[in-house]
Amino acid sequence: MRPSDVIVTGAPRSGTSLVAGLFVAAGHHPGVRMIPATPSNPAGFHEDLDVNAANDDLLDEVADEPWGEAERPPRSLRWVGAFARPVTPAAGEGRALGALVPPSPFVLKDPRFAYTLPAWRPVLPPVRVVVVVRHPSEVVASLASMAEREPETFAGFLPREAHVLAMWEAVHRAVLSWADEDTLFVGHEDVLGDRGRARLAQATGAALEGGVRPELHRERVRSGLPRSTEDLLAELERRCGAPPPTEGTDR
């Protein structure tokens, strides 16, 4: 049986690039026009620029509906946006999304899929969706480090802690609104070790033998969280510990 096609999403700076890279090393096709590596992601992002642009277009539907008191980033930084809901499936109608889907087996990775996947579903073959979960305090610290290393990336918009926490919560609540029994949640810490890779391989049928560079995952910060965020984290951690979906039952 061939390996599953894969979509990877999660909050930015959660280890989604690491997970996508494991599939790329296993032979999955990530797209055509890839984001170049940067000091923050020296091993690469494994994101297709045209897929990113399509997701930014889809986010037009919810761009004026921020989550709570979150700020509204410019279009160029919608990947760190916090939106109140996912886009509707109808948002993809009339768009050439199908032309952006690579040959199988593929891995498409973008944090924006947390909001836009419902619009992609009609043009996708059966896929395994992987959601990478990292502690929100570490996401805050990692984004702050990225902004320090790459100020040009965040020109005109500084992702402050309150916004990042809102973004983390909005991303995962959007995911939970469409996640089904075939969605695999995997913890960032688990992916750095054998357990996470074994769960990914079991769920997708891919031979994930690529190396992991723990030194690139620098932030190990844990701090107090708002109650709603703590409760959401507990639910996500429960899902990360659940048995993975059986390979071959993907939609």
On whether the CB atoms of residues 173 and 114 are closer than 8 A, the answer is no
More confident of the two residues 29 and 192: 29
pLDDT of residue 69: 84
For residue 200, the one-letter residue type is: L
CA dist 58 and 79 (Å) reads 12
In Å, how far are 35, 118, 143 from 165, measured between CA atoms? 25, 24, 11
Q: What's the pLDDT at 130?
A: 98
Q: What share of the chain is helix, strand, coil (3-state, %, to 5)?
A: 45, 10, 45
Phi and psi angles of residue 108, each rounded to the nearest 5 degrees, phi first: -110, 130
Binned at pLDDT 50, 70 and 90, residue 250 comes out as very low
Which run of H or of E encompasses 10? strand 5-10
What is the number of other CB atoms lying within 10 angstroms of the CB of residue 211? 8
- Would the pTM count as exceeding 0.75? yes
| Mean pLDDT in residue range 128-150 | 95
Nearest to 236 by CA among 192, 191, 171: 171
Residue 160 near residue 78 (C-beta atoms within 8 A): no
Three-state DSSP class for residue 129: strand
With cut-offs at 50, 70 and 90, classify the pLDDT of residue 121: very high
| Residue 205 reports pLDDT greater than 70 | yes
Phi, psi at 152, each rounded to 5°: -65, -30
Residue 245: the pLDDT is: 83
Q: Are the C-beta atoms of 50 and 100 separated by less than 8 Å?
A: yes
For residue range 41-53, list pLDDT tens digits in order. Answer: 888 899 999 999 9
What phi, psi does 106 have (nearest 5°)? -125, 160
Alpha-carbon span 16 to 9, nearest angstrom: 6
Please state which CATH class domain 5-240 belongs to.
alpha beta
pLDDT tens for residues 53-110? 999 999 999 999 999 889 999 999 999 999 999 999 999 998 999 999 999 999 999 9
Summarize pLDDT for 141-157 with one digit per residue, the tens: 999 999 999 999 998 89
Q: Which residue blocks in 179-221 are alpha helix, DSSP H? A: 188-191, 194-204
Q: Is the pLDDT confidence value at 247 over 70?
A: no
Question: Based on the number of CB atoms within 10 Å of its own CB, is 162 exposed (0-12), middle (13-18) or buried (19 or more)?
Answer: middle
pLDDT recorded at residue 224: 77
